[in-house]
Structures are given as C-alpha cells and as structure tokens.
Amino acid sequence: MAAWLVPLCLFACSRSENAFEIDIGSREVTAATLNLCGRQTSLSRSGNLLVTTRAIDCEGSGEIIVSFPDRSLVRCPVGYVTHGLVQTFRFEIDGQTCRDIRQRPSS
C-alpha cells in the first residue's frame, strides 16, 4: 500500500460519534429508538432527556421514534449524516410534536 494511503484511510475510514438528545420533560415513555443507516439504537433516559450516541459510518437520514404509555408515537426526523461530520441533534417534544432545537450559527 502506498504510504500516502495510510493517513488518508485513517481520516476517511474513521467513524464519527454523533449525539442525539430529546427533551421530554417529565413525561413517561415506553421506548425511544433511533433508526439510522438501516440500524436501530435505543435511547436511554437521563433526567428529562432521552440520549444516545452513534458512530456514523454511512450517509443518509433517519428518525427517532418515541413511544408513550398511551401507545402514541412521536417521530423526530434526523437530518443528513455522513462519516467525518460530527453533529449533535437536539429535539424537544411538545405534546405530539417534535421540534429541532439545535443551536444554529448566527448570520
């Protein structure tokens, strides 16, 4: 293998950890699942948040599905992910609506 390919693969082949957080307040949930890149990852509760991290080894988008005791579901769309781009996806559930609350750069 050419010597220049090793550093290139170390950069391009690495997997980036992305964070996913949903503020659910004091509501009870029965499950929360991140569906991304054809795989499912469960979120765990930490105070008022549902959280997980995931190594990104694909390009695409997905969603987080939150289930409640009354059998209702709320879907939070996860925008574009790609390996090499580290992101934190933050959402807030208000009633039956999931809102993206990520900090956006000011113009």
Question: Does residue 106 have a pLDDT over 60?
Answer: no
- 39-55 average pLDDT score: 96
Yes or no: say if 19 and 51 are a contact pair by the CB < 8 Å rule: yes
Q: Token pair for residue 75?
A: 């879907």
Judge whether 2 lies within some domain: no
Provide the pLDDT for residue 85. 86
Least confident of 12-16, 23-27, 36-40, 95-99: 12-16
Angle in degrees, CA 12, 55, 21, rounded to 5: 135
The pTM score is 0.80
Domain count for the chain, please give it. 1
Judge whether 57 lies within some domain: yes
Residue of 72, 62, 64 lying closest to 30 (CA atoms): 72
Provide the pLDDT for residue 8. 45
Provide the pLDDT for residue 69. 97
Yes or no: say if 73 and 66 are a contact pair by the CB < 8 Å rule: yes
Judge whether 5 lies within some domain: no
Name the DSSP class of 7. Answer: H
Judge whether 4 lies within some domain: no
Q: Which domain holds residue 52?
A: 15-100
Question: Does residue 105 have a pLDDT over 50?
Answer: no
